[in-house]
Amino acid sequence: MKRILITGGSGFLGSRLAEALAGENTVWAPSRRELDFTSAASVAAAFASFHPTHLVHCGAVSDVGMCEKQPQQSRIVNVDGPALLARASAENGARMIFCSSDQVYWDGHTCPGRPWREDDGCCPGTQYGRQKLEAERLCAQLCPDTVSLRLSWMYDAMARPGQHGDLVQTLHQMAMSGESRGFACRDLRGVTWAEDVAAHFAAALELPAGVWNFGSPNTGEISALELARTGLAALGADVNLAVPLDLPPRELRMDPSRTAAAGICFGETALRLEECLRRGR
Ligand SMILES: NC(=O)c1ccc[n+]([C@@H]2O[C@H](COP(=O)([O-])OP(=O)(O)OC[C@H]3O[C@@H](n4cnc5c(N)ncnc54)[C@H](OP(=O)(O)O)[C@@H]3O)[C@@H](O)[C@H]2O)c1
């Protein structure tokens, strides 16, 4: 039986992973008061008391705007914290699973003209993306058995109190209020149902060390605008509530074929979003 320590257990992903992994494992998802992973003493105490075989690191400043506004404070959480945890994992023989992001890939200038692969050069264009990439590299250096999962933007069928919003909540609000919103018509990315991430997570614990694209593909090149309209249609709402925003193009789609070859297959972005919204209606 694995002993899994999950940071960020009150957060969007950590709370769902704690539930998904609990059945077959001993899971501890401490609050920030119980484990502040930016404190070496707190990290040492958590490892000494729980003796994890696996550390799933979901804790972060996950708000991209907040990282731009507070680069130093967010760096302490997004880079220094993971480094402390990686060192403790290596010292205690635990395997580290680091939650990274598709935002490591692109600064808005050069892209491969196809979805990003793990071995493409990364050139993140945001503080958040740079912090995630630096943390991935530090974790691999300090704890060579680290699995870094590059996650895409996630949503779930039901909102949980105290957690940040997601695309599904936005679409429900638009459908209920009739309020229109802008969506970029040249923004390409995968978006992933958190239920799928949680369902595949036990398998992720077994992946070889390294970096893995871990989310739904968007092979149909469906823009943020088209995706929002697909979602509104699934809710039976007026698709024109999603208004085009003419922002510069963005390519954040990930190619998950390496992860699929390891036996972890995510469904297509638009199909899974439709399924989630239809099921929740
Ligand atoms: N959600 C997405 O769409 C998405 C997409 C790509 C990647 N990711 C990555 O996936 C991971 C999980 O994201 P999420 O959306 O679940 O994040 P979230 O909802 O913002 O949760 C972040 C968690 O981190 C905790 N935390 C922050 N600083 C801490 C500290 N010093 N000590 C202990 N806990 C601390 C927070 O605790 P408090 O509740 O006490 O603040 C919260 O539980 C993150 O690494 C994020 O960057 C998320």
- B/e letters for 45-81, b = 16+ CB within 10 Å, e = fewer, are ebbeebebbbbbbbbbbbeeeebeeeeeebbebbbbb
CA of 13 to the centre of ligand 1 (A): 7
Q: What is the pLDDT along the chain (281 residues), one digit of tens a residue?
A: 999 999 999 999 999 999 999 988 999 999 999 999 999 999 999 999 999 999 999 999 999 999 999 999 999 999 999 999 999 999 999 999 999 999 999 888 878 889 999 999 999 999 999 999 999 999 999 999 999 999 999 999 999 999 999 999 999 999 999 999 999 999 999 999 999 999 999 999 999 999 999 999 999 999 999 999 999 999 999 999 999 999 999 999 999 999 999 999 999 999 999 999 998 76
Ligand 1 atom 24, closest CA: 59
Atom of ligand 1 nearest to the CA of 99: 45
Instruction: Tell me which DSSP letter residue 11 carries.
Output: S
Ligand 1 atom 30, closest CA: 36
Q: Domain residues of the chain, as ranges?
A: 3-153+191-213, 155-189+218-252+267-280
CATH fold label, 3-153+191-213: Rossmann fold (3.40.50)
* Ligand 1 pocket check for 42: Cβ under 6 Å: no
Question: Between β-strands 153-155 and 181-184, what pairing exists: parallel, antiparallel or unpaired?
Answer: unpaired
**Residues with Cβ < 8 Å from 139, sequence gap 6 or more?**
82, 83, 85, 86, 96, 98, 146, 148
Pocket test for ligand 1, best of 38, 62, 116, 192 (most atoms within 8 A of CB): 62
Percent of the chain with pLDDT over 70: 100
Beta-bridge mates of residue 191 = 153
